[in-house]
Amino acid sequence: VSTQSTGAETLAKYRLDDTGDKKEEAKMSLEEAIRIIQVHERARQGCLRAKFMREIRAQEEREKMLSLQGASTMDPDVASTIIQKVWKGYSQRNKTLKLRDEELV
């Protein structure tokens, strides 16, 4: 037989009846009261710990997503060089197309 009672059983044991008068109740021992408080406090702390861990995991996921998206970590000089290369290539292709068209005419 289990020595732990459920919360519903404990509430039923010490609850008022419908008329507001106390039912006959068994007195709760100090040890039982301490045990109930400890169980509930451990449950409360467990819920807080779980919430904290969820927040940590969510923060790590956000950081991972930001790093995968490529936050701007490129050196400005390197970025400007890449832009210049792309523009010069585009510009030269257009000039070459115009020269070809002029030769054919």
- 4-63 confidence digits (pLDDT tens): 566 667 666 666 555 555 556 668 899 999 999 999 999 999 999 999 999 999 999 998
d(CA 40, CA 38): 5
Identify whether the C-beta of residue 87 lies closer than 8 Å to the C-beta of residue 81: no
Maximum CA extent, the chain:
111
Does residue 80 register a pLDDT over 60? yes
Does residue 78 register a pLDDT over 80? yes
Does residue 1 register a pLDDT over 50? no
Say which residue the tokens 């585009």 belong to. Answer: 90
Higher pLDDT: 57 or 68? It is 57
Task: Write phi, then psi, for 16 (nearest 5 degrees).
Answer: -80, 150
Task: Write phi, then psi, for 71 (nearest 5 degrees).
Answer: -55, 150
Q: What is the pLDDT of residue 103?
A: 85
Residue range 66-71: mean pLDDT, rounded: 74
Q: How many CA atoms lie within 13 A of 38 on its CB side?
A: 7
